Amino acid sequence: SSSSSSSSSPLSGISISSSSPEYAPEDTYDVIVVGAGHAGCEAALAAARMGCRTLLLTLNLDRIAWQPCNPAVGGPAKSQLVYEVDAMGGEIGKMADRCYLQKRVLNKSKGPAVWALRAQTDKLEYATEMRRVLESTPNL
């Protein structure tokens, strides 16, 4: 059975009651994020920073915020998202600034409307740094 929690969190959590001896009140969360890719990390950090007790689930702790074989942040489409997440206090832009190997403005020969910043990053450092940020965030 479930009932609404009366915590002081900005979001109402759901507590699962159980007569099982393994159940403890510290096993309740306001937010559960499944997957620790870029979006999962940002969602978990945002919830935890809002004061929500947050659980981030992943299959492999060494693959937190893992990037593909061509690890880049930004580009023609993604740079707009990075700017927006950065404006809301997110980490992806900060991580790219910390872990970049090279930065480049794309489409510089065209007009400013299509310019886009792209940072090639060190994927191991990026994952390690993001894990450090996640593990040091209260409520997460």
Residue of 128 and 11 predicted with greater confidence? 128
- Whether the predicted pLDDT of 3 surpasses 70: no
pLDDT tens digits for 103-114? 999 999 999 999
pLDDT of residue 21: 55
Helix H, strand E, coil C: the string for the chain is CEEECCCCCCCCCEEECCCCCCCCHHHCCCEEEECCCHHHHHHHHHHHHCCCCEEEECCCHHHCCCCCCCCEEECCCHHHHHHHHHHCCCCHHHHHHHHEEEEEEECCCCCHHHCEEEEEECHHHHHHHHHHHHHCCCCC
pLDDT tens digits for 41-64? 999 999 999 999 999 999 999 999
The pLDDT-based confidence of 1 (bands split at 50, 70, 90) is very low
pLDDT of residue 60: 94
- By percentage, how much of the chain surpasses pLDDT 90? 70
Provide mean pLDDT across the span 27-44. Answer: 95
The pLDDT-based confidence of 69 (bands split at 50, 70, 90) is confident
Whole-number average pLDDT of the chain = 86
pLDDT of residue 9: 53
- Whether the predicted pLDDT of 137 surpasses 70: yes
